[in-house]
Structure formats: C-alpha cells, structure tokens
Amino acid sequence: MLLYLAQEGRGIGLVNKLRAYALQDRGLDTLDANRALGWGADERSFLTAATMLEALGIKRVRLLTNNPNKLASLAACGVEIVGREAHAFAPNGVNDQYLATKAERFGHLLGE
C-alpha cells in the first residue's frame, strides 16, 4: 500500500522548501536551511497516515523508510511497525553531502 501525504519539504510546504533550496545553494545544509526559515528539522505529522491505515483496517505495517522518526511517529499513533525496508541510495558525487546530512544530522539509517 502506498499512502501519499501532502507534506512537501518535511511539512514546511512547497514554497518554503523552495526558499530552503535557495539557502542550500548558498551553502547551508537542509537542516540549517529549514531552521534559518524558522522551521524545525521536520514539521510532518503522521497522524493522518495512521488514520488512513485505521480506516482501511490496517493495524500492522512494514515501512519503506530510512527515517527512524517515521517509525517512532507512526508507532506513537498506534500503528504496529513489524519491519523496515531500507531505501538504497548510493552516493554519486552530487548527493554525497545530502546523504551525509541525512545520516549525521537526522539519524537516517543509510546502508542498513
């Protein structure tokens, strides 16, 4: 099952994500750019996803994510997490710093 949540830019919206990209072009990483705009590291709520799953009668999931906060947030909403499937994104010279920021500053579980 695939759930789409309209939470572009980790919940700050598309316009603010574009503003964050402009700050990233000036040298800030994704976390610092969000904070410079007055946002937290991740403004998303996963209560809507939990509600959608509940409406569909789904109580247990195996989640496709590298983000431990998604696991914890869904679990806090009452969804039983029975497993996690990692995304595999190899550094390619363009995304190296982005992936490093995800791992080091957001705690993403890369390479696992």
**Active site amino acids:** 42, 44
- Cα 88 to Cα 8, 55, 85, 108: the distances in Å are 21, 31, 9, 12
Q: How far apart are CA 75 and CA 59, in angstroms?
A: 10
